[in-house]
Amino acid sequence: NLLKNVKTFSWVPQNDILGHKKLDLFITHCGSNGIYEGAYHGVPMLGMAGTMEQRLNVIRIVKAGIEIKVNFFKFSSNDIVDGVKMLLSDSRYKENAQRISKTLKDKKISSKDKIVDWIEYVVDTGGAHHLKVQGETLWFYELYNLDVFAFIMLILYVIYRLLKYIITRMRRLNAKTKCD
């Protein structure tokens, strides 16, 4: 019962669709991959985030000016229509999306050249030991701060013993005073 120009698929390559030149906007649940792919292809987005990660993604892309947010838990068809109209009528969304796309695509150095540079750097510096994670050289108790924890526990124990001694002495003095 669908129109002739409507086709259904069980799965489509989202990245390919987002890269199509006739695509004007992307209605998304704001997952990380979709957000990145939409931004890479310079597509304004209408976001409907459900999870916390998705909501954080929405905040970032709304701030970048390439998305309008629709409340996932409380929305109407009018909210979606209004969001689509806003994205299509206000050229700032498309301009911001294109600017971000250019930034993501603009590479001063190719990935191949970059990896060659890093390999040469590691060889030239004798293994780039200054870039290694410092946790590799720590003892187990240092890595998990057990030495700090033990020191704090020792201080607390000394304070406990000192307070216990003072309270015991005060009770004995009070007991002697009552007897006299």
CATH topology of domain 14-105: Rossmann fold (3.40.50)
> Is the pLDDT at 159 greater than 70, yes or no?
yes
CA dist 25 and 145 (Å) reads: 50
* Per-residue pLDDT, 153: 98
More confident residue, 29 or 134: 29
CA dist 68 and 84 (Å) reads: 9
* pLDDT average, residue stretch 29-58: 90
> What is the domain partition of the chain in residue ranges?
14-105, 108-133, 138-179
* pLDDT average, residue stretch 22-29: 92
Could you tell me if 78 and 92 are in contact, meaning their C-beta atoms sit under 8 angstroms apart? no
> Is the pLDDT at 180 greater than 80, yes or no?
no
Residue 145 phi/psi, 5-degree rounding, is 60, 30
| Closest by Cα among 86, 105, 90, 100 to 27 | 86
Q: What is the mean pLDDT of the chain?
A: 89
CA dist 117 and 123 (Å) reads: 10
Residue type at 33 in one-letter notation: N
CA dist 144 and 125 (Å) reads: 30
* pLDDT average, residue stretch 170-174: 89
Structure confidence at residue 64 as a pLDDT band (50, 70, 90): confident
Share of the chain above pLDDT 90, in %: 51
